[in-house]
């Protein structure tokens, strides 16, 4: 199966996962690094990029 760049961007671009409660959030990477974004569920500020399987 071919990987479409549109689909890959929709699934993985600008999506981060909270390290505490594992909630996904879509945000700008520069705001994540500056810790301006908080998790909706637990108000944590530690995120990681979503894993490509």
Residue 25 lies in a domain: yes
Looking at every residue in the chain, the average pLDDT score rounds to: 92
* Cα 33 to Cα 39, 51, 53, distances in angstroms: 14, 18, 23
Residue 32 lies in a domain: yes
Residue 27 lies in a domain: yes
Percentage of the chain lying above the pLDDT 70 cut: 96
Residue 1 lies in a domain: no
Percentage of the chain lying above the pLDDT 90 cut: 81
Q: Domain residues for 40?
A: 7-49
pLDDT score of 31: 96
The count of structural domains within the chain is 1
pLDDT score of 30: 96
Residue 2 lies in a domain: no
pLDDT class of 16 with cuts at 50, 70, 90 = very high
Gap between the terminal Cα atoms of the chain: 14
Mean pLDDT for 2-25 is 92
């Amino acid at each position: 199966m071919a990987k479409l760049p549109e689909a890959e961007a929709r699934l993985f671009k600008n999506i981060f996962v909270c390290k505490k409660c594992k909630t996904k959030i879509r945000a700008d990477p520069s705001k994540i690094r500056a810790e301006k974004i908080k998790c909706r569920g637990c108000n944590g500020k530690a995120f990681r990029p979503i894993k490509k399987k």
